[in-house]
Structure 1
Amino acid sequence: MTGDDAIHAIALLAVDPVGLGGVALRAAPGPLRDRWLALLRDAMPTGTAWRRLPPDTPDSRVLGGLDLGATLAAGRPLAERGILAEADGGVVVVPMAERLAGTMAARLAAVLDAREVVVERDGLTRRWPARISIVALDEGIDAEEVPPAPLLDRLAFAIGLDDLPRGALMASPSPEAIAAARLALPQVTVQPELLQALCATGLALGIASPRATLLALRAMCAAAAFAGRVTALEEDAVLAARLVLAPRATRVPDDAAPEPEPAEGQAPESQPEAGPAREEDLADMMIDAVRAAMAPTLLARLAAAQQAATRTGAVGRAGAARRDGKRGRALGARAGRLHGGARLALIETLRAAAPWQAMRRRQNPRSDRPVLIRAEDIRLRRYEERSGTTAIFAVDASGSTALHRMAEAKGAVEMLLAECYARRDRVALIAFRRDAAAVLLPPTQALGRARRCLAALPGGGATPLAAALEAARALADIERRQGRLPLLILMTDGRANVARDGQTGRAAGEADALAMARLLRATALPILLVDTAPRPQPFARLLADAMGGRYVPLPQADAAALSAVVGAAARAA
């Protein structure tokens, strides 16, 4: 993205703010971002509404609804407009858009599609026009932190300012030219070959959403109107492709293949008609412009997208989202009963009770309470909190090589515990030997306590593998009931020789271990089996398959390698 493209985006957005939807502006807070926003605000007509919408704004303020004070004073339901309706015809700035909740992004997307706000709440149904343009401020540090896809799909432009020099935004669009372009925009016409070329460019870039082409068409018309033309030209189409299609590319467009020469003695094929040839030339021109615009950042962005697609969960990082908890990020309110430590949403409760005050006064004329509230009016606060991850180590402490395995387990557990201060992970340790399994270290984040328990870890004896799996399953169930996500890391050489009832023998031990493994598979628990035998054991692989887990032969594991494998398994869980 160049400084000229950033200025062009301001001009086009000022010409057609509603049709283009808005812009995703990726930039750190600072003078450059403030300058871009100031230029956009100056380009808009005088008196254009300008509102800010923080991510944690409640729905009642975003969409509108019951005016609590006016309703209580008048004794009848009175509605008030929200931020989106107040910004009708203007701009809504969304700071920290990369943290925007999916529900709020869906509401914004619905308003961008319908261009109105529809509220059905507290016995009221209200409609307000909301023809808005959104500026989503993307302040994420990581390339994977982006605003929700439903919102990005409806914003024409995606601009990055971090790589621009400080003086890149000195020029500004002419307000007079923008005013004239707004008047001329409805008369702009587009030649069919330009539209065909836009569609071909989108296909070459791997863009699946049809909104991208429609937004590029709107941008092309706005560019022509801003240039004072009533017919879009090739340069307008190239600018639209560079600004709208290039940021959405999912693959590098292939170079055009050379046409084969006719064989000797073969008549050359007839030349294609001028119309199709012109469309192909236009498409090639747009693709070349897009390739030049996206070349510096495409590979990095595609690599980040590929990494994000390979992750199937949040285990090992921030955990999974759990709603209706008692703490975390507020999600609004819901109807319910006050019990079990639930927190009352006072304002929402008053909103639910306000429309019925006049009727309740007639039913209870002797009541001296200022507000009559009933059980059905109660609203409770809803929260979303991230559940932590518990890594359960089940370590085989049997045999003559137990001391070596204990040393590696101690090192891996201590390395994971050191990372728990930056996350909400906990670590537990189960040791199994002789005829039983014992929880030596309950789930904890205390590094000192873990080291003291690990220092006295015993070793020697037979291998009660079935008992270890049973103990791990019970501990995982406890962690799940407490809202955490358990991850089982089983470290064993696979030589099970003790059954659950204490009977010794390889056949009985392996049969019980397989039976417990199938029970673990039914719990859908993420499992990693680390084979610590000098040579990979067939039964260990069979056990991992029965549990539905990942098998990793690691005969010469050290603490760093084991910690790396466990971390990778946690991210893929």
Structure 2
Amino acid sequence: MTPEQENPAGVWEDALRAAALFAADPHGLGGIVLHARAGPVRDLWLDHLRDRLAGPVRRMPPGIADDRLIGGLDLPATLRAGRPVSQRGLLAEADGGVVLVPMAERLERGTVARLAGALDTGTLALERDGLTARHPARFGLVLLDEGQEDETVAEALADRLAFRLDLTGVSLHEARVATPAPGQGRPREGGRTTARPGNHSADGPVAMLCAVAESFGVTSLRAPLLALRIARLVAREAGREEPDEADLIAAARLVLAPRATRLSPPPVDAEDAAEQPPEPRPPQDADQAPGAEAERVEGDPREPDAIVLDAVRAALPKNLLAHLLAGGPPLRSTAAGRMGMAAASPLTGRPVGSRPGDPRRGRLDLIATLRAAAPWQRLRRAGHAPGRIVVTPDDFRIRRLQRRSETTTIFCVDASGSAALERLAEAKGAVELLLAEAYVRRDRIALVVFRGTGAEIVLPPTRSLVRAKRVLAGLPGGGGTPLAAGLDAAATLALGVRRAGGSPVIVLLTDGRANVARSGLGGRALAGEEALGAARMLRVQGLPTLVIDTGARPDGARRLAEAAQARYCPLPHADAGSVSAAVRAATA
């Protein structure tokens, strides 16, 4: 870990610098993803941002309805006028300012799409309730990410925002000491690497930022473009027409480092470079000057500047290495949220809109019904009492409700003789750690153990910490490895959870060396074929699965993971903490 990563004051100074840059161009920079729990540190940073903003600041309530977000029919005005009257939504009201989004990790997909569309175009197209309008909506976003490790802001939205800040390790004392008083100027530059003076061609900064982004595994094209915009903004503040190396360093630290998905290769020493054979170069054209090729290679813009690479490497998130060791692509592309997958429900759940329907087969949405009937009142009031609202069956709207299903993590643990001595204790510790986290998320955990000649469910789906610890403490080990029987038991339990409306995830901890068939007879060949067949059934049934190879030699369970199309994670030296970290990353 670098000194930069261990210095919370440096993190806070970078956050203040990002706030100042964002306040100068909210819509152009998109916004900020701020990962911090509600508290005085976050409030202090938000106050610092508000002091520098010139436009309006609007707070978006969680679960905001479409008519308030993007606008729609003004129901009281429409009923008074007898004709459709539109009203502006929150995004149009925030034109020229900033929208604060609390609990941004729980935004619905529809809300994410509307926010992303407004950021891309700077306008808000209103086409609903019989209305058609277009409002300017040039705003910036501040997404307040308050989620756990398995809850993150939607990447489709976060990718459009320039900054990603994490203030979880900053104390209130450190923040107050490093925050300048109003009117005392901005904090010092985030980059603490001395830059060399140098001149860049017109496309030099672009090529350098793209090369740095590629070095750290940043695949989005928006990231280097946002970094370039920040570098030019910093240069203009300093009175320069084009950004120099110091400006590129500041931009790369603030934009590219938090997005890194891999560790950049270390710089090559001069002695090592001299020992490596030179790469073959294409033949020179006849009309090319002898020194032109050397000049082109020396100034090749595809080669990122070593100082910029070092600056970004110093600003990498401190947990990046642990995330790379435990993480990777999620098990499923749909976000599970805090309480599992979203499921439609006719009578219970959280309202997510309305649709035409029969109130006898759902819950009547009175406001939506009145909104549908309001534009036609002038035509319908003929022959009716004055002031009466005429509603027809076509106007009825019923609520669309959505509830969250529980996520049940089913541990399928190899307790045979080959694994008990080395891995059973680690599996017990991992289950206890994940069960404590599941209790907070209101999820459940089950435990299936296979050994000897069969498998058994030693812990049905539960959130009881006391019961889990009691069962795990007396869990024995030893005997053969009936891997197929263990997979069958886990699949049966997972299908039962799915039928009950839950979201099952199977986590298999094994070395993959099956030696007992379903019949209870020994034999590695038959046991191995049955285990692969059981793994294929997991794929056919569509059960999300994570295979953790706990063997002393990795790759023992890889064939099993390929047959089930499961996520494979070799952990030959796993302990309880690393196993639980891998499961959290895979089931995010």
Q: Give the TM-score normalised by the residue count of structure 2.
A: 0.67
Shift of 1:148: 2.2
Separation in structure 2 between the aligned mates of residue 529 and residue 277 of structure 1, nearest angstrom: 48
Amino acid at match of 2:311: A
2:132 to 116, 119, 125: 125
Shift of 1:469: 8.3
Separation in structure 2 between the aligned mates of residue 570 and residue 241 of structure 1, nearest angstrom: 29
Shift of 1:154: 1.9
Q: SS of the counterpart of 2:345?
A: coil
Residue number in structure 2 paired with 1:203:
211
Shift of 1:544: 9.7
Separation in structure 2 between the aligned mates of residue 551 and residue 5 of structure 1, nearest angstrom: 37
Higher mean Cα deviation, 232-241 or 48-57? 232-241
Query: Is the contact between residue 70 and residue 89 of structure 2 (CA under 8 Å) also seen in structure 1?
Result: yes
Residue number in structure 1 paired with 2:267:
255
Residue number in structure 2 paired with 1:389:
408
Q: Does 1:212 align with 2:223?
A: yes
Separation in structure 2 between the aligned mates of residue 11 and residue 68 of structure 1, nearest angstrom: 40
Residue number in structure 2 paired with 1:359:
379
Alignment of 1:369-408 (within 5 A): 370-375=389-394, 377-389=396-408, 391=410
Residue number in structure 2 paired with 1:323:
343
2:257 to 236, 246, 264: 246
Query: Is the contact between residue 231 and residue 250 of structure 2 (CA under 8 Å) also seen in structure 1?
Result: yes
1:167 to 177, 183, 200: 177
Q: SS of the counterpart of 1:214?
A: helix
Shift of 1:333: 0.9
For the aligned residue pairs, the C-alpha RMSD in angstroms reads 6.0
Separation in structure 1 between the aligned mates of residue 514 and residue 156 of structure 2, nearest angstrom: 48
Q: Does 1:332 align with 2:344?
A: no
Shift of 1:296: 5.0
Residue number in structure 2 paired with 1:105:
112
Separation in structure 2 between the aligned mates of residue 470 and residue 217 of structure 1, nearest angstrom: 54
Higher mean Cα deviation, 383-392 or 306-315? 306-315
Separation in structure 2 between the aligned mates of residue 111 and residue 23 of structure 1, nearest angstrom: 16
Alignment of 1:17-36 (within 5 A): 17-36=26-45
Shift of 1:73: 2.0
Q: 1:431 to 1:413 in 2, by over 3 A?
A: farther
Amino acid at match of 1:382: L
Shift of 1:56: 2.2
Shift of 1:494: 6.0
Q: SS of the counterpart of 1:524?
A: coil
Shift of 1:27: 4.0
Query: Is the contact between residue 162 and residue 255 of structure 2 (CA under 8 Å) also seen in structure 1?
Result: yes
Q: Does 1:479 align with 2:485?
A: no
Q: 1:369 to 1:495 in 2, by over 3 A?
A: farther
Residue number in structure 2 paired with 1:557:
none
Separation in structure 2 between the aligned mates of residue 86 and residue 132 of structure 1, nearest angstrom: 9
Q: 1:275 to 1:493 in 2, by over 3 A?
A: closer
Higher mean Cα deviation, 116-125 or 542-551? 542-551
Higher mean Cα deviation, 112-121 or 10-19? 10-19
Residues 477-506 of structure 1 deviation map (CA, whole Å, 9 limit, x = unaligned): 44322234264979998655769xxxx999
Amino acid at match of 1:524: G
Separation in structure 1 between the aligned mates of residue 347 and residue 274 of structure 2, nearest angstrom: 67
Q: 1:571 to 1:146 in 2, by over 3 A?
A: closer
Shift of 1:371: 4.8
Shift of 1:132: 0.9
Higher mean Cα deviation, 275-284 or 233-242? 275-284
Shift of 1:9: 3.3
Query: Is the contact between residue 197 and residue 282 of structure 1 (CA under 8 Å) also seen in structure 2?
Result: no
Separation in structure 1 between the aligned mates of residue 544 and residue 375 of structure 2, nearest angstrom: 50
Shift of 1:129: 0.3
Q: SS of the counterpart of 1:205?
A: helix
Separation in structure 1 between the aligned mates of residue 470 and residue 37 of structure 2, nearest angstrom: 45
Q: SS of the counterpart of 1:323?
A: strand
Query: Is the contact between residue 7 and residue 173 of structure 1 (CA under 8 Å) also seen in structure 2?
Result: no
Separation in structure 2 between the aligned mates of residue 137 and residue 89 of structure 1, nearest angstrom: 20
Query: Is the contact between residue 253 and residue 315 of structure 2 (CA under 8 Å) also seen in structure 1?
Result: no
Residue number in structure 2 paired with 1:223:
234
Q: 1:467 to 1:13 in 2, by over 3 A?
A: closer
Alignment of 1:140-151 (within 5 A): 140=147, 142=149, 145-151=151-157
Q: Does 1:116 align with 2:134?
A: no
Structure with larger Rg: 1
Q: 1:282 to 1:388 in 2, by over 3 A?
A: closer
Separation in structure 2 between the aligned mates of residue 137 and residue 451 of structure 1, nearest angstrom: 36
Query: Is the contact between residue 353 and residue 401 of structure 2 (CA under 8 Å) also seen in structure 1?
Result: yes
- Structure 2 stretches lacking a partner, 5+ long: 1-9, 187-198, 279-289, 416-423, 476-480, 550-555
Query: Is the contact between residue 17 and residue 132 of structure 1 (CA under 8 Å) also seen in structure 2?
Result: yes
Q: 1:379 to 1:26 in 2, by over 3 A?
A: same
Residue number in structure 2 paired with 1:185:
none
Q: 1:444 to 1:126 in 2, by over 3 A?
A: same
1:13 to 13, 19, 22: 22
Alignment of 1:46-195 (within 5 A): 48-140=55-147, 142=149, 145-161=151-167, 162=170, 165-170=175-180, 193=201, 195=203
Shift of 1:274: 7.0
Number of aligned positions between the proteins = 531
Separation in structure 2 between the aligned mates of residue 290 and residue 55 of structure 1, nearest angstrom: 39
1:37 to 43, 46, 51: 46
Q: Does 1:292 align with 2:304?
A: no
Higher mean Cα deviation, 242-251 or 85-94? 242-251
Shift of 1:378: 1.0
Query: Is the contact between residue 164 and residue 255 of structure 2 (CA under 8 Å) also seen in structure 1?
Result: yes
Q: SS of the counterpart of 2:256?
A: helix
Query: Is the contact between residue 43 and residue 173 of structure 1 (CA under 8 Å) also seen in structure 2?
Result: no
Q: SS of the counterpart of 1:347?
A: helix
Separation in structure 2 between the aligned mates of residue 57 and residue 214 of structure 1, nearest angstrom: 31
Q: 1:111 to 1:357 in 2, by over 3 A?
A: same
Higher mean Cα deviation, 342-351 or 437-446? 437-446
Q: Give the TM-score normalised by the residue count of structure 1.
A: 0.68
Higher mean Cα deviation, 270-279 or 478-487? 270-279
- Structure 1 stretches lacking a partner, 5+ long: 178-190, 264-268, 397-406, 458-462, 532-537, 553-559
Query: Is the contact between residue 369 and residue 395 of structure 2 (CA under 8 Å) also seen in structure 1?
Result: no
Separation in structure 2 between the aligned mates of residue 86 and residue 103 of structure 1, nearest angstrom: 20
Separation in structure 1 between the aligned mates of residue 368 and residue 469 of structure 2, nearest angstrom: 49
Q: 1:78 to 1:365 in 2, by over 3 A?
A: same
Residue number in structure 2 paired with 1:350:
370
Query: Is the contact between residue 321 and residue 386 of structure 1 (CA under 8 Å) also seen in structure 2?
Result: yes
Shift of 1:98: 3.4
Separation in structure 2 between the aligned mates of residue 216 and residue 523 of structure 1, nearest angstrom: 45
Residues 66-110 of structure 1 deviation map (CA, whole Å, 9 limit, x = unaligned): 112211222221111111100111121222333333432332121
Query: Is the contact between residue 406 and residue 503 of structure 2 (CA under 8 Å) also seen in structure 1?
Result: yes
Residues 280-335 of structure 1 deviation map (CA, whole Å, 9 limit, x = unaligned): 69952xx5245335515445235325634254149999564123236997462131
Q: SS of the counterpart of 2:328?
A: helix
Separation in structure 1 between the aligned mates of residue 184 and residue 229 of structure 2, nearest angstrom: 20
Separation in structure 2 between the aligned mates of residue 279 and residue 493 of structure 1, nearest angstrom: 55
Query: Is the contact between residue 245 and residue 290 of structure 1 (CA under 8 Å) also seen in structure 2?
Result: no
Q: SS of the counterpart of 1:358?
A: helix
Query: Is the contact between residue 196 and residue 279 of structure 1 (CA under 8 Å) also seen in structure 2?
Result: no
Residue number in structure 2 paired with 1:524:
542
Separation in structure 2 between the aligned mates of residue 413 and residue 213 of structure 1, nearest angstrom: 39
* Identity within the alignment, %: 38
Amino acid at match of 1:242: R
Separation in structure 2 between the aligned mates of residue 517 and residue 2 of structure 1, nearest angstrom: 46
